[in-house]
Amino acid sequence: MKLAFSTLGVPGAPLSEVVALAADHGYQGVELRAHPEEPVHPGLGTAERRRAAEEFRAAGVEVLAVAGYARVAAPGSDGPVLAELRALLGLARDLGARHVRVFPGAGERPEDEADADAVRRLAAVAPYAAELGVRLLVETHDSHRTGAAVARLLGRVEHGGVVGPDEIGHGAVGAIWDVLHPWLGGEEPTDSYAALAPHLAYVQLKDVASADDTTPLPLGAGVLPLTECLGLLSRAGWDGWLCWEYEKRWYPRVPELAGLLGAAREWLRRLPGAAP
């Protein structure tokens, strides 16, 4: 499996620093947080996008995904959501990224209503994603925190003909398994994986002290069932990306990511089939 880290762990860091951290610690990719407070975001001009893409290419580090904040199940009209999705997809294409991360974001809306909006929006933008060669990924998060909930959305998109039955897992839409949120939702890792496997693009790893204290910890230092999750992936022969999402942006007092990357890679390496 290939390793990446999220720039949530190095908020606001220049791209040169991000690239050096990945290259120096043996991480093959980076998940770029796409927000105006970061160096990379949809408002970036053409020349800046070109320079960013070249910086990663020159170092041999892949931009795994553009981590956007679009909410596909949010209340309101479709227009602003679709515009945001298209902007993120264009940014990913220009940076050479394979994926765009989005959230469900339904809030407290009724499930059927939220699902219908999300499915319609994903279906509407999927042809554009396919045209650009970028995959739109819904993360297990917020209103759809379990694998079953995200798979329910993606299954309906597929059923609508956006992703053909022979292209399951290889279409324009897919899933990210953020291991924290299904666990918080009471879903067993075996059930999360079973639901998401047909759609799974990559896995976001993290660790925390407890369900009540989600302050980020080094991988393996907390209570999340990481060994079980990685064992499931290994036994299934899954050979995709693992991305460490160390959320220093939201917890500024935790230790710097730079001092933890090497130990995290070694911890993963000791697990069967988890890391090169």
Give the lowest-confidence range in 12-21, 79-88, 112-121, 266-275.
Answer: 266-275
Task: Give the separation between CA 116 and CA 111, rounded to whole angstroms.
Answer: 8
Token couple for 91: 């940014």
- Residue 182, C-beta contacts closer than 8 angstroms, at least 6 positions apart: 140, 145, 146, 147, 189, 191, 192
Q: Looking at the predicted structure, is the pLDDT value of residue 77 above 90? A: yes
More confident call, 1 vs 250 = 250
Q: In angstroms, how far is CA 206 from the centroid of its own chain?
A: 12
Q: What pLDDT sits at residue 274? A: 63
| pLDDT band at residue 275 using 50, 70 and 90 as cut-offs | low
Give the lowest-confidence range in 61-75, 86-100, 167-181, 210-224.
Answer: 167-181
Asked whether residue 85 is domain-assigned, the answer is: yes
| Cα separations in angstroms, 213 against 124, 182, 203, 207, 217 | 38, 16, 22, 11, 10
Asked whether residue 275 is domain-assigned, the answer is: no
Task: Give the separation between CA 199 and CA 167, rounded to whole angstroms.
Answer: 10
Going by C-alpha positions, the residue among 142, 68, 55 that lies closest to residue 99 is 68
Asked whether residue 276 is domain-assigned, the answer is: no
Asked whether residue 211 is domain-assigned, the answer is: yes
Structural domains of the chain, count: 1
Q: Looking at the predicted structure, is the pLDDT value of residue 164 above 60? A: no
Please tell me the pTM assigned to this model.
0.94
Tell me the pLDDT tens digit for each residue of 23-47.
999 999 999 999 999 999 999 999 9
Find the domain containing 30 and state its range: 2-269
Task: Give the separation between CA 99 and CA 119, rounded to whole angstroms.
Answer: 18
More confident call, 41 vs 1 = 41
Q: What pLDDT sits at residue 13? A: 98
Mean pLDDT of the 234-258 span: 96
Asked whether residue 9 is domain-assigned, the answer is: yes
Q: For the chain, how big is the Rg over CA atoms in Å?
A: 18
Q: What's the chain's average pLDDT? A: 94
- Residue 121, C-beta contacts closer than 8 angstroms, at least 6 positions apart: 72, 78, 81, 82, 85
Helix, strand or coil for residue 138?
strand
Under DSSP, the state recorded for 9 is G
Mean pLDDT of the 183-190 span: 98
User: What percentage of the chain has pLDDT greater than the value 90?
Assistant: 92
Helix, strand or coil for residue 242?
strand
Q: What pLDDT sits at residue 273? A: 60
Q: What pLDDT sits at residue 179? A: 98
How many Cα atoms sit within 13 Å of 74 on the Cβ side?
16
Write the CATH number for 18.
3.20.20.150
| Cα separations in angstroms, 28 against 5, 19, 137 | 9, 10, 20
Asked whether residue 248 is domain-assigned, the answer is: yes
Asked whether residue 38 is domain-assigned, the answer is: yes
| pLDDT band at residue 160 using 50, 70 and 90 as cut-offs | low
Going by C-alpha positions, the residue among 1, 6, 2 that lies closest to residue 206 is 6
Tell me the pLDDT tens digit for each residue of 187-243.
999 999 999 999 999 999 999 999 999 999 999 999 999 999 999 999 999 999 999
Task: Give the separation between CA 68 and CA 50, rounded to whole angstroms.
Answer: 19
Which amino acid, residue 112?
D
Could you tell me if 128 and 86 are in contact, meaning their C-beta atoms sit under 8 angstroms apart?
yes
Token couple for 146: 């379990």
Question: Torsion over CA of 78, 44, 241 and 99, rounded to 10 degrees?
Answer: 30
